[in-house]
Structure 1
Amino acid sequence: MHVDVGNALAVEASPGVPEDALERLDDRVRDAHEHIVAGMTREEFGYAALNLPKTADPAAIERAVEPFADSEVLLNVGIGGSALGAATLVDALGGDLDAHFLDNVDPEHVTALLEDIDLSQTVVHVVSRSGTTAETLANFLVVRDAMEQAGVDWTERTFVTTGPEGNLRDLADEHDLPALDAPEGVPGRFSALSTVGLPAAALAGHDVEAILAGAREGRAALTGSLFDCPAYAYGATAYALDVRGAGINAMMPYAESLETFAEWFAQLWAESLGKDGLGQTPARALGATDQHSQLQLYRAGPRDKLVTLVRAREREDRGIPDTELEGLDYLAGGSLGDLLDAEFEATEASLAESGVPSVRVEIPRIDERSLGRLLYDFEAACVLAGELYGVETFTQPAVEWGKDAARGLLSGERGLPEKTELVVE
């Protein structure tokens, strides 16, 4: 992965990071790196995620999905990190598999989806590390019922990824379902490169080993200096800009297939770093689409944003046909790829001209190896940023409060605090 932070420096942007401040910050990066490596060595909770390139077992994943190789549809039932990593890989890499990620409990959406797909040709992957996630288990119960009503033996079309205990493990044991072990010590949002995210890629026909090989490149690139490590360069720069006022991080990939990556990044960044009144707020955009909408705000609105521009250096292209239409001579002989590159560079220049900080992130191409590296590097960047903020990167107490409150409401065991209402109808 290539990271260019030049347009985030104080000589180019406001807010921006002075070069000497980055050099001073590098001493903290070195100390943070030592702490990260120590956590990885001891397989501590959270830090164990950065060991997945060497601890994940692609052979076990291939064995688990092999019985479902003839499936035409994948229904991944999970929420948050139990869905977004898998969706990022499948959406980026494509394939012939019709993949759906059931990560919400909207009844109209669930009903429409189940009516639309052929359940007899569907493989269901149920993912919950705790095995007790209310939304996931509720959706799975609905899916199971729909299969039974359609005359489909759900036990022959279902496998799970879960922890050693919990309702989902009990269900798998009772019905002899194929079961993969969720990685120990790895929060869901850091689990894309594991039995949580990789089975979907394997079912779509992608090379799981190549994904992990890319991630291993990222692991090997972790050094004690932000000037030598792309992941740390990004994490340190984002942190340094935040403390200088850029409290919003707009993730803007220039590839339709990476739109879900921006969603994955938003969860990773928000849930990991939003603690103790700290953390950047992630925003999701898509180039070139959002040049015609959000860019107006980024360039001319409040000076509180970092824009992260992501693209692949190589991709398939398509020529633009010649036309007799007046005023379109500049498109003649060009391609959609040429136009997209011009849009990328124009956006970058537009932000620089107005003094808005941006970081350029480039990968060689959108393939298994590059995706593995991209996901790993942003996870490492997030872990480093958490060290610099001094927050508990791998916990999510606010999320857990909401889960407990929802369970309490459903069970009748608790209510919510009274609130002031001002209703307009």
Structure 2
Amino acid sequence: MQVDIGNALASVADPGVGADALDVLDDRVAIAHDRIAAGMADDDFGYASLNLPERTDAAAIESAVEPLADSDAVLTVGIGGSALGAATVSTALGPSDTTHRVLDNVDPEAVAEVLDDLPLDSTAVNAVSRSGTTAETLSNFLVVRDAMESAGVDWTDQTIVTTGEAGPLRALAEEHDLPALDVPDGVPGRFSALSAVGLVPAAIQGHDIEAVLSGGQAAMDSLSDSLYDCPAYAYGALAYALDQRGASVNAVMPYAERLEPFAEWFAQLWAESLGKDGLGQTPARALGATDQHSQLQLYRAGPRDKMVTLVRASERTDREIPETDVEDLAYLGGTGLGELLDAEFEATEASLAAAGRPNVRIELDRLDARGIGELLYAMEVACVLAGELYGIETFNQPAVEWGKNAARGLLGADGEFPEADAVAEKERLVVE
């Protein structure tokens, strides 16, 4: 994997980072690297995430999913980090005879549509919750279980859970002898893609999850004490530095349909980890080349408060564009869709640079198992580094917990939830 930060330098972009400032930043990266390395060595909370390529047991995951290997579909029931990593890995690895669907919202109409669309008698249910008490996940799981029972399907034959050592989901697995895998200790959900949390659906689909971990290991091996030698640190340091100079929005724009869920995964990683103490860059999601026609106008000519992250794979399969006798389209004939997509990528990059808008290129060798593992690990490291530079607690999410407590109180859960009082106290000015 390569990261090109040239278009984020002050000689090109405004805001941009000057060469001298980059050297000063590199000194801070060296200090942050020492803290990160120490946290990894001690398996400290959060930093333990960065050990997953070495710690995750691919064989154990493959053994656990073996009874479900002949499923026609796999349905992941989770939310946030318990679903986005799995969706990202599975989608990036491409088509399979086993489709993958996700229930990560409690919109009743959407849930009904997904269940109506699945062959329930040959669908593997992948339930994921560390606590086993996540309201959205457990509600959806109960709905899925009820749908299977109503269809005469024994849900216990088709369910695998990934959860903590204790809790309702673990107890359910023990009661019904369900295959169960562990959510790794010390790993926040949004950093858990390279564990059973993110790899079970891909394993059921028959993808090479060992190669995913190998890609993560490659990115892990590239860690060094300088942003000039480490693509992940280069990205994290530049994103932080650009934010400090006014680029408070980070628009992530992969040029591959199979990486669209990656942008969603990145958005949670970046927002939940770095959005604290009045700090943090706001992630925005885009898709190349589609959003050149819907968002690029703003990125190139709107407020100078954005950096654009362009992501692509160097190698891909292509499909030839047929020759045509339409004169205005003749230049397309005989080229390929991939060639056109590359031209769109490079034109967007040049367009932003010409307007003095900072952008960074992330380039994978190939969009395969190794490539997605490398990308996910590198972005996690970049996020941790940025957190060190901001001086914030990267691995907690107090604002999210506040909202969860408010919802529990509204639904009448046992316990005291003063956060729920804020609902009744809402200021209202209704226009009809």
Q: Same fold (TM over 0.5)?
A: yes
- d(CA) in 2 for partners of 1:288 and 1:298? 14
Question: Is residue 58 of structure 1 aligned with residue 65 of structure 2?
Answer: no
Residue 155 of structure 2 is matched in structure 1 by 154
1:328 is paired with a residue whose SS is helix
Residue 228 of structure 2 is matched in structure 1 by 227
Residue 294 of structure 2 is matched in structure 1 by 293
- d(CA) in 2 for partners of 1:374 and 1:129? 24
- d(CA) in 1 for partners of 2:426 and 2:65? 49
- d(CA) in 1 for partners of 2:178 and 2:58? 19
Residue 280 of structure 2 is matched in structure 1 by 279
Cα deviation for residue 333 of structure 1 reads 1.7
Letter of the aligned partner of 2:251 in structure 1? A
Letter of the aligned partner of 1:276 in structure 2? D
Residue 390 of structure 2 is matched in structure 1 by 389
Cα deviation for residue 293 of structure 1 reads 0.9
**Can you list the C-alpha shifts for 1:106-163, whole angstroms capped at 9, x where unaligned?**
0011112112211100000100011111110000000001111100001111010000
Supply the RMSD in Å over aligned alpha carbons: 0.8
1:303 is paired with a residue whose SS is coil
**Can you list the C-alpha shifts for 1:185-228, whole angstroms capped at 9, x where unaligned?**
00000000001001111111111111111100011100000000
Letter of the aligned partner of 1:50 in structure 2? L
Question: Is residue 419 of structure 1 aligned with residue 426 of structure 2?
Answer: yes
Residue 189 of structure 1 is matched in structure 2 by 190
Residue 335 of structure 1 is matched in structure 2 by 336
Q: Percent identity?
A: 70
Question: Is residue 44 of structure 1 aligned with residue 59 of structure 2?
Answer: no
- d(CA) in 2 for partners of 1:100 and 1:52? 25
Letter of the aligned partner of 2:134 in structure 1? T
2:115 is paired with a residue whose SS is helix
1:323 is paired with a residue whose SS is coil
Letter of the aligned partner of 2:208 in structure 1? D
Cα deviation for residue 167 of structure 1 reads 1.1
Letter of the aligned partner of 1:255 in structure 2? A
- d(CA) in 2 for partners of 1:122 and 1:110? 15
- d(CA) in 1 for partners of 2:126 and 2:402? 27
Letter of the aligned partner of 2:91 in structure 1? D
1:364 is paired with a residue whose SS is strand
Moved more, 92-101 or 225-234: 92-101
**Can you list the C-alpha shifts for 1:334-371, whole angstroms capped at 9, x where unaligned?**
11111101100000000000000000000011100011
Residue 138 of structure 1 is matched in structure 2 by 139
- d(CA) in 1 for partners of 2:173 and 2:310? 43
- d(CA) in 2 for partners of 1:270 and 1:352? 26
TM-score by length of 1: 0.99
**Can you list the C-alpha shifts for 1:309-344, whole angstroms capped at 9, x where unaligned?**
000000010000000112112112211111101100
Question: Is residue 86 of structure 1 aligned with residue 86 of structure 2?
Answer: yes
Residue 314 of structure 1 is matched in structure 2 by 315
Cα deviation for residue 416 of structure 1 reads 2.9
Cα deviation for residue 422 of structure 1 reads 1.1
- d(CA) in 1 for partners of 2:338 and 2:110? 35
- d(CA) in 2 for partners of 1:137 and 1:97? 24
- d(CA) in 1 for partners of 2:58 and 2:115? 30
Question: Is residue 75 of structure 1 aligned with residue 82 of structure 2?
Answer: no
Structure 1 residues 394-413: aligned runs within 5 Å: 394-411=395-412
TM-score by length of 2: 0.97
Moved more, 165-174 or 182-191: 165-174
2:186 is paired with a residue whose SS is coil
Cα deviation for residue 9 of structure 1 reads 0.3
- d(CA) in 1 for partners of 2:4 and 2:326? 39
Structure 1 residues 203-214: aligned runs within 5 Å: 203-214=204-215
Residue 35 of structure 1 is matched in structure 2 by 35
Residue 111 of structure 2 is matched in structure 1 by 110
Residue 242 of structure 1 is matched in structure 2 by 243
**Can you list the C-alpha shifts for 1:7-59, whole angstroms capped at 9, x where unaligned?**
00000000000111010011110010000010000100000000000000001
Letter of the aligned partner of 1:372 in structure 2? G
Cα deviation for residue 96 of structure 1 reads 1.9
Letter of the aligned partner of 2:141 in structure 1? F
Letter of the aligned partner of 2:428 in structure 1? E
- d(CA) in 2 for partners of 1:64 and 1:306? 42
- d(CA) in 2 for partners of 1:239 and 1:96? 41
Cα deviation for residue 232 of structure 1 reads 0.1
- d(CA) in 2 for partners of 1:207 and 1:193? 13
Structure 1: runs of 5+ lacking an equivalent: none
Question: Is residue 25 of structure 1 aligned with residue 25 of structure 2?
Answer: yes
2:101 is paired with a residue whose SS is strand
- d(CA) in 1 for partners of 2:71 and 2:38? 43
- d(CA) in 1 for partners of 2:393 and 2:384? 10
Question: Is residue 3 of structure 1 aligned with residue 3 of structure 2?
Answer: yes
Residue 127 of structure 2 is matched in structure 1 by 126
